[in-house]
Structure formats: structure tokens, C-alpha cells
Amino acid sequence: MKTYHLMGAAIGIAMVAAAPSTAGAQRYDDHEYGNDQNSLTLICWGEGRRPSTSVAGGYAWDSRRHKFVPHTYLNNTTQEFDSEIQVELHDDWGRIHLTGKLVPAIHSGGSNGLWELENVHVGPDTITARYRLNGLNKPRVEIDRRSGRIKIMGSTTFRGECEQGGWGQRDNRF
């Protein structure tokens, strides 16, 4: 009887140890952004491009039958789209919230549209970082702090403008 209880306890401990850590996700939730001068939240909007395919029908010459026959063509194209993102920074770490067509169909990670930023560098003129969408796509983010322009370069590209989000203040634009 004692063996079963010990074995059950060992399995329970192993399951807790193998469970993914939520420490990375909680560090944002536990932090008050409104009062911290080292935190920055940006709301960005703009346009992007992503690889796409299109199917078209037509006719092609069949040299065996000596006539035109119906044919389906598959073309590689790019698709343009409008989108919004949110960037949250605190000291040398941060996260990015992607929407719509910025998120590929096959992606690894991301929690509710949020991806953790890696290699965050906040300089006086620029902010740079990377995030991992999947094994083949690790886009680079560049934000010009003087102009407010953002660029995301990966298999999907995005360019836009950012404004600082100040939810602690009640400044209306209109």
C-alpha cells in the first residue's frame, strides 16, 4: 500500500516539474505600467505584405492533341493588408501583440496574440528586437524613436506609425 502512495506522489511531483513555467507571462501581468518611467507602450498601425498564392484558369496549347485545352495555373504573389500592433517594453524586455494577417497559419507560441520580444535594445534614437513566430520566421522589429515609424522584417513585412499609449492619463484627442 505504501508503495502505491509513494509512486503516486512521485508522479504528481514529476507532472508539476514538467508543467511549463508561467513566470515569463506573469511578469507583465504583475507589473503596474502607468507609474513606471522605464515602461513604454506603443500602438502602431500601418500596412504589410505577405507571401500568397493565387489560382487562375485559362487555356494552354496541348502539343499532343494539337489544340488548346483548359488549364489551371498556380501563381506566387504578395498580398497587401492593413493591420495594427501593440508593443510593450520594460527595460530590456518586452512583448508584441500581433493581429490578423501578421500571424501566419503555422506559428509556434504566442499567447492570445502576444509574442515575447528577444534581444531588445532601447537606444536614444531606435528600438530593435526580434520575436519568434515559428522555426523559419523570426522577424526583426525596428522602431525609429524620432519619427515614430516602425518596420517589421520577416517573411511578412510591416511598416507603419506608432503613438505612445498612455492609459494612466486621461488625455482625449478629441
Query: Among 30-34, 35-39, 118-122, whose mean pLDDT is lowest?
Result: 30-34
Element (H, E) at 89: strand 67-90
Q: Which has the higher per-residue pLDDT, 9 or 86?
A: 86
Instruction: Kindly tell me if the per-residue pLDDT of 11 is higher than 50.
Output: no
* 48-105 confidence digits (pLDDT tens): 998 888 899 999 999 999 999 999 999 998 889 999 999 999 877 899 998 888 887 7
Q: For residue 127, is it left (φ>0), alpha (ψ between -120 and 50) or beta?
A: beta
* 119-134 confidence digits (pLDDT tens): 999 988 999 999 998 8
Strand 93-97 relative to strand 140-144, pairing: unpaired
CATH for the stretch 33-51+81-164: 2.40.128
Using alpha carbons only, how large is the chain's radius of gyration in Å?
A: 24
At residue 13, the pLDDT reads 36
How large a percentage of the chain has pLDDT more than 70? 74
At residue 172, the pLDDT reads 61
At residue 4, the pLDDT reads 44
Residues 12-37 have a mean pLDDT of 43
Cα 57 from Cα 74, distance rounded (Å): 9
Instruction: Kindly tell me if the per-residue pLDDT of 110 is higher than 80.
Output: no
Question: What ranges do the domains of the chain cover?
Answer: 33-51+81-164
